Structure formats: structure tokens, C-alpha cells
């Protein structure tokens, strides 16, 4: 499974009908179960490993995994977006436990917690 949404951390972005991970997936692969208020990757076989979902999660509930066929579990790579939204730090750990971090300049746009369906330009809530 290329990405994994930790159900213990995911809070469904409160009452969001269309939380950021669900909206930012280019393949329409993430769904929210409104009864449990959790998001999940419904179609892991269609995942492109592109990671907008991981970067969009406001509470870092989505882990980046490698499909098991490509290598052992245990290695980690997680992005952290800086408060100023102009840097991203990737924390890496290899299978032997060696840790390394990489900080890269970027420009991360704010992502609203929810959005109306027809039109992305109206009624946004930027209160992350």
C-alpha cells in the first residue's frame, strides 16, 4: 500500500465533506467514511505515489509507504511543511535506522479544509 492513512490520527478534518486528502488525490482514490469520520485510500492499486495527499494533511495522519514488492518495511520518509510555507523538510530513515533530513525551498499553497463542489473559487475556509 503506497500511502496509509492512520485511523488513530485521522480526524476527518472535523465536519469536512471533502477533506484536503480526498480533494488533492488526482486519481479520486480517497474516500471519507462519514459514519466514522475517517478518510481512507479506497483503491490502493490505482495509487501513483505522487503524495499530494500526504502533504495536504493538516495533522500529518498520512504515512508514505513503499509497495512491499519493492522493499522491506521499516524505512521512513515523511514531509513536514514549515510554518512559513516556504520550506519543506523530509525526514528520512533507512532500514538500518540511520536518520537524515533534507530541507528544500518550495512555496506551499494554503489548502482549505473543505470546499464547495462546483467551483473551487468560492466559499473557501482557509482556517487550518
Partner 1 sequence: MIERQTIETDILIIGGGTAGCMAAVEARERFPQYKVTILEKAHIDRSGCLAGGMNAINAYLNKGETPESFVRYVRSDSCGLIREDLVQSMSELFEYCVKKVEKWGLPVLCDDNGDYIPRGRWNIKINGESLKPILAKAARSAKAKVYNWIVVTNLLTEGDRVVGAVGFSLRNGKFYVVRAKAVLIATGGAAGLYRPNNAGDASHKTWYSPYNTGAGYAMGIRAGAEMTSYEMRYVAIRTKDAIAPTGTIALGAGAPQVNSKGERFMVTRYADIGGDGAPTPYRAHGPIQEIKEGRGPVYLDTRGITPEKVTDLKKAYLDMYPSQVLYWLANDIDPGKEPVEIQTTEPYIVGGHCQAGYWVDNERRTTLKGLYAAGDVAGGAPFKFVSGCWSEGVIAARTMGKDLSQEGLAQMEATSVPESQVDQEETRAFYPFKNHEQGKFGVQAAELESRLQKIMEQYAGGASTHYEMNEEMLKIARKKLSTLPGEIDDLVAADLHQLMKAHEVIDRIDVAQVLVEHMAYRRETRWPTYHTRTDYPERDDANWLKFVNSVKNTKSGEIEMMTRPYEQMVSGDRYQPGKKPGS
- CB of residue 33 vs partner 1: minimum separation in angstroms? 14
Dist CA 118 CA 45 (whole Å):
28
Under the criterion CB under 8 A, does residue 128 sit at the interface with partner 1?
Answer: no
Window 15-34: residues binding partner 1 (CB under 8 A): 18, 23-28
Helices (H) and strands (E) in the chain, counts: 2, 7
Picking from 70, 57, 100, the residue whose alpha carbon sits closest to that of residue 2 is 70
Dist CA 127 CA 74 (whole Å):
34
Under the criterion CB under 8 A, does residue 35 sit at the interface with partner 1?
Answer: no
Candidates 9, 11, 15, 46; binder of partner 1 (CB under 8 A) is: 46
Candidates 12, 37, 90, 114; binder of partner 1 (CB under 8 A) is: 90
Dist CA 56 CA 13 (whole Å):
11
Q: Closer to partner 1 at the Cβ: 58 or 75?
A: 75
Under the criterion CB under 8 A, does residue 117 sit at the interface with partner 1?
Answer: yes
Dist CA 116 CA 128 (whole Å):
17
Compute the chain's Rg from CA coordinates: 15
Window 50-89: residues binding partner 1 (CB under 8 A): 50-52, 55-56, 64, 66-77, 79, 88
The residues that touch partner 1, with contacts defined as CB under 8 A, are 1-2, 18, 23-28, 42-52, 55-56, 64, 66-77, 79, 88, 90, 92-96, 102, 104-109, 111, 117-121
Amino acid at each position: 500500500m503506497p500511502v496509509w492513512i492512520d485511523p488513530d490520527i485521522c480526524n476527518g478534518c472535523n465536519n469536512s465533506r471533502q477533506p484536503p486528502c480526498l480533494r488533492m488525490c488526482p486519481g479520486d482514490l480517497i474516500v471519507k467514511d462519514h459514519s466514522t469520520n475517517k478518510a481512507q485510500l479506497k483503491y490502493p492499486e490505482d495509487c501513483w505515489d505522487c503524495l499530494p495527499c500526504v502533504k495536504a494533511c493538516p495533522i500529518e495522519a498520512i504515512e508514505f509507504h513503499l509497495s512491499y514488492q519493492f522493499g522491506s518495511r521499516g524505512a521512513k520518509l515523511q514531509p513536514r511543511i514549515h510554518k512559513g510555507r516556504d520550506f519543506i523538510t523530509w525526514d528520512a530513515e533507512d532500514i538500518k535506522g540511520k536518520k537524515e533530513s533534507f530541507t528544500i525551498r518550495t512555496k506551499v499553497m494554503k489548502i482549505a479544509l473543505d470546499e464547495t463542489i462546483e467551483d473551487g473559487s468560492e466559499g473557501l475556509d482557509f482556517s487550518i
